[in-house]
């Protein structure tokens, strides 16, 4: 039997060596990981814009400087030029007690004469938070594209939200009803054509769900509703002008 | 436990080869010992995550076996499980970090389950049963063998689940569209759910035990 002090020294050494190893690895890999994160975020914004052309990192940065503006709005729909929108953390903003002090980022992409707006969407799935973007055509009603770039859902089930078949469902759906009132988009259980057979109006705000991933689907419905609501005043202002 | 090999034994002696080969058939960690089932259910809905998960496990089991075997004479018996867990956790986090830096797409698919390798009983099982009592080289072979046999089983499960559940292999459509259109073929939704993995694993265990003639005592 080894003595107590030996055990303590041994375990401490192991702990220190392991933590040194890990912090070194984390520090060395940090840059690459951050680059991956940032690039993946931009790629996803582009995908939401409906830009399908394959581009490398430099080309993507070029595209952003040429075509994309990022700015912040408040819940009344006014642009706040004093806030650095790139630094905005949507979740932190949601937690601010005073609703009037919350600011949310929005991207505007101008390609030739077409203007597309893109907003971040964040919500909860079954296991994890879901992060994505949704973009609207210049009518501020029709969905141009949607993507999810970060989540921890089950591969093959909830993780299907990042697949094209799921995201393509959203294309051409509308977030406002015929009177122009915001209704958001619902992810139904099963197929939308079955759930709302014959109801064209409902069908234009509904997409197919993911079988086996009901909670993730519900999470997507909820996040779309909550996050798009924040931008509705801004969209209304744009329409009014 | 005494050392399994004497000094001067050839690297690929019959005994060492047996150490490497046994996990595949005679003593497969999943189909015979029925270990590591949780991850075998979780990541096998498609083939690609199954493959990457397999590689990650091979690295962790082999690496942990080597590390523990090197230290085996110095590890105080009373805290050995803690030391083993620390080593395993370190290796798993390393894998996770490297995947995030160099295989970003796959790491996004797997992130949660890579972390769960820490709790995979195959890893701790091999450390306790083999690395604590054997020299470095046989321990490495044992880890490699067990890791690869785990990888092989989840790859088989992943292959069948993706094929039957989504009609694809590695994301490529293999079931012809005509089959869906003309014959009313549909993907088996059960296969993408966890019970699908249970059924395939059960069948695999059945096949393997029939071949090897293994019976529970």
pLDDT tens, per residue, chain B with 217 residues:
444 444 567 777 778 887 887 777 777 777 777 777 777 777 788 888 888 889 999 999 999 999 999 998 888 888 889 999 999 999 999 999 998 888 887 787 776 788 888 888 888 888 888 888 888 899 999 999 989 988 988 899 989 988 888 888 887 888 888 777 777 777 787 887 778 888 998 898 888 888 877 666 6
DSSP string covering B21-44: HGGGTTT-TTTTT--SHHHHHHST
Tokens of A3: 């003595």
* Percent of all residues in chain A with a pLDDT value above 90, rounded to a whole number: 27
Contact A209, A189 (CB under 8 A): yes
Q: What b/e string do you get for A103-119 counting C-beta neighbours within 10 Å, with b at 16 or more?
A: bbbbbebeeeeeebbbb
Query: Can you tell me which residue has the tokens 């122009």?
Result: A180
Mean pLDDT in residue range A135-148: 90
Chain B positions in Cβ-Cβ contact with residue A40 (cut-off 8 Å): 104, 108
- b/e for A144-158, b at 16 or more Cβ within 10 A? bbbbbbbbbbbbbbb
Residue tagged 């079954």 (tokens): A126
Taking Cα atoms as reference points, which of B130, B165, B169, B152 lies closest to residue B19? Answer: B130
Greater confidence (A37 vs B11) lies with A37
Q: Shortest Cα distance from A89 to chain B (angstroms)?
A: 21
Q: State whether ipTM is beyond 0.85.
A: no
> What pTM, to 2 d.p., does this model score?
0.72
pLDDT at site B86: 92
Among B42, B93, B109, the residue with its CB nearest the CB of A22 is B93
State how far the Cα of B116 lies from the Cα of A221, in Å rounded to an integer.
29
Confidence band (pLDDT; 50, 70, 90) for A216? very high
In sequence order, what DSSP letters do the residues of B138-192 get, joined into one string?
A: HHHHHHHHHHHHHHHHHHHHHHHHHHHHHSEETTEE-S-HHHHHHH-----GGGG
Q: How many angstroms away from the CA of B42 is the closest CA of chain A? A: 7
More confident residue, A4 or A124: A124
Strand A206-207 vs strand A186-187: parallel, antiparallel, or unpaired? Answer: parallel
A1 and B CB contact within 8 Å: yes
Token reading at A1: 């039997």
Give me the pLDDT at residue B90, please.
Answer: 94
The answer to whether A126 contacts chain B (CB < 8 Å) is: no
Query: What percentage of chain A reaches a pLDDT higher than 70?
Result: 99
Site of tokens 């962790």: B60
Model pLDDT, residue B1: 41
Beta carbons of B87 and A25 less than 8 Å apart: no
**Does A8 touch chain B if contact means CB atoms closer than 8 Å?**
no
pLDDT of B3 reads: 47
Q: What is the mean pLDDT of chain A?
A: 87
Residue of A nearest to B188 (CA): A211
Chain A positions in Cβ-Cβ contact with residue B45 (cut-off 8 Å): 154-157
Is the separation of the CB atoms in B85 and B118 below 8 Å? yes
Which chain A residues are within 8 Å of B98, Cβ to Cβ?
Answer: 25, 29
Residue A15 tokens, joined: 């702990």
The per-residue pLDDT for A224 is 93
pLDDT at res. B12? 75
β partners of residue A206? A186
Report d(CA B119, CA B88) in Å as an integer. Answer: 9
């Amino acid at each position: 039997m080894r003595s107590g002090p030996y055990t303590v020294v041994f375990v401490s050494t192991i702990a220190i060596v392991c933590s040194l190893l890990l912090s070194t690895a984390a520090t060395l890999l940090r840059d690459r990981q951050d680059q991956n994160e940032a690039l993946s975020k931009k790629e996803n914004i582009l995908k939401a814009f409906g830009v399908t052309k394959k581009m490398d990192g430099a080309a993507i940065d070029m595209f952003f400087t040429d075509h994309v503006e990022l700015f912040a709005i408040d819940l009344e729909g006014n642009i706040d030029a004093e806030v650095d929108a790139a630094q905005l953390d949507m979740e932190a903003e949601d937690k601010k007690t005073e609703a009037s002090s919350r600011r949310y980022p929005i991207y505007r992409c101008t390609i030739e004469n077409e203007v597309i707006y893109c907003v971040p969407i964040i919500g909860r799935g079954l296991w994890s938070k879901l992060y994505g973007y949704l973009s609207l055509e210049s009518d501020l009603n029709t969905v141009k594209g949607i993507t999810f770039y970060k989540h921890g859902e089950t591969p093959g089930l909830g993780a299907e939200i990042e697949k094209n078949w799921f995201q393509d469902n959203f294309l051409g759906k509308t977030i406002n009803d015929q009177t122009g009132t915001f209704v958001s988009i619902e992810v139904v259980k099963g197929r939308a054509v079955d759930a709302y057979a014959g109801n064209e109006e409902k069908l234009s705000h509904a997409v197919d769900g993911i079988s086996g991933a009901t909670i993730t689907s519900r999470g997507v419905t909820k996040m779309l509703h909550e996050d798009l609501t924040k931008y509705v005043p801004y969209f209304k202002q744009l329409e009014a002008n | 436990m005494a050392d399994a090999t004497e000094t001067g034994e050839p690297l690929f002696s019959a005994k060492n080869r047996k150490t490497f080969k046994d996990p595949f058939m005679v003593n497969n960690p999943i189909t015979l010992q029925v270990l590591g089932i949780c991850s075998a259910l979780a990541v096998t809905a498609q083939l690609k995550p199954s493959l990457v998960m397999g590689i990650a496990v091979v690295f962790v089991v082999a690496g942990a076996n080597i590390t523990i075997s090197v230290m085996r004479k110095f590890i105080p018996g009373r805290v050995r499980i803690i030391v083993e867990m620390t080593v395993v956790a370190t290796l798993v986090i390393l894998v996770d970090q490297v995947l995030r830096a160099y295989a970003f797409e796959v790491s996004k698919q797997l992130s949660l389950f890579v972390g769960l390798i820490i709790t995979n009983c195959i890893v701790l099982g091999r450390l306790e049963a083999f690395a604590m009592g054997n020299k470095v080289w046989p321990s490495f072979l044992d880890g490699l063998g067990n890791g690869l046999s785990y990888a092989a089983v989840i790859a088989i499960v992943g292959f069948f689940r993706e094929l039957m559940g989504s009609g694809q292999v590695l994301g490529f459509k293999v079931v012809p569209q005509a089959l869906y259109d003309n014959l009313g073929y549909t993907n088996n939704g059960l296969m993408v759910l966890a019970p699908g993995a249970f059924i395939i694993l059960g069948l695999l265990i059945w096949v393997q035990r029939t071949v090897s003639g293994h019976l529970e005592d």
